[in-house]
Amino acid sequence: MDGYHYPIDVLRTFPDPEDAIYRRGAPDTFDSRKLQTDLERIKNDHYELVYIPGFDHAKGDPEPDKHCFIRKQHKIVLCEGLYLLHDKDGWENVSKLLDYTIYISDDVDTCIERLKERNKCIPGYTPEEINLRCEVVDRANAITVERSKSRAHWIVHSAFRSNKQSKHI
């Protein structure tokens, strides 16, 4: 789903571009409509090929048409992303295109600590800036995502958690 981030150039056209760029990763900073269109094309058997964008966090912008779905080669499609079950901000119809959903649950604090480590590859930020952004922006995003878990068919607890059981809904 990261390939559906709006490019920095598009975020610069937002009413408050500085805020949009800083909050990149929030639901409204993704092109949820393009994701929905691509999922519809994948689900519709009239399309033999569907090109989808990729994303490299070290580069910092989506790469259009990076990957290709080839109908004759793929019978199962896995779609991963934080907001696939989100029901606001333009995401309302995305989950309707998914046949089966699994939510991987973990403690928000643990997720934020992992994100701080992962984000060290993002160019132009000091470790202190990464830590602050993770606490302010990414924590709010994680809470938004956590609210959507009840919409999943199956909730699985992270393998890195204690011995809690998964819940099949």
- 145 touches 83 (CB < 8 A): yes
Give the number of other CB atoms < 10 A from CB of residue 76. 5
Model pLDDT, residue 162: 45
Please tell me the distance from the alpha carbon of residue 5 to that of residue 138, in angstroms, as a whole number: 15
Task: Using alpha carbons, select from 15, 19, 11 the residue that is nearest to residue 140.
Answer: 19
Model pLDDT, residue 163: 46
Alpha helices (runs of H) in 23-137, residue ranges in sequence order: 32-43, 108-118, 127-133
Q: Mean pLDDT in each 10-residue stretch from start to end of the chain (169 residues)?
A: 96 98 95 97 91 88 95 91 96 96 95 91 86 96 96 91 50
Please tell me the distance from the alpha carbon of residue 133 to that of residue 100, in angstroms, as a whole number: 32
Q: What are phi and psi of 83, to 5 degrees?
A: -105, 15
Model pLDDT, residue 122: 76
Structure tokens given for 83 = 């907001």
Domains of the chain are 1-76 (3.40.50.300), 100-169 (no CATH)
Please give the model's pTM, rounded to 2 decimal places. 0.87
106: helix, coil or strand?
coil
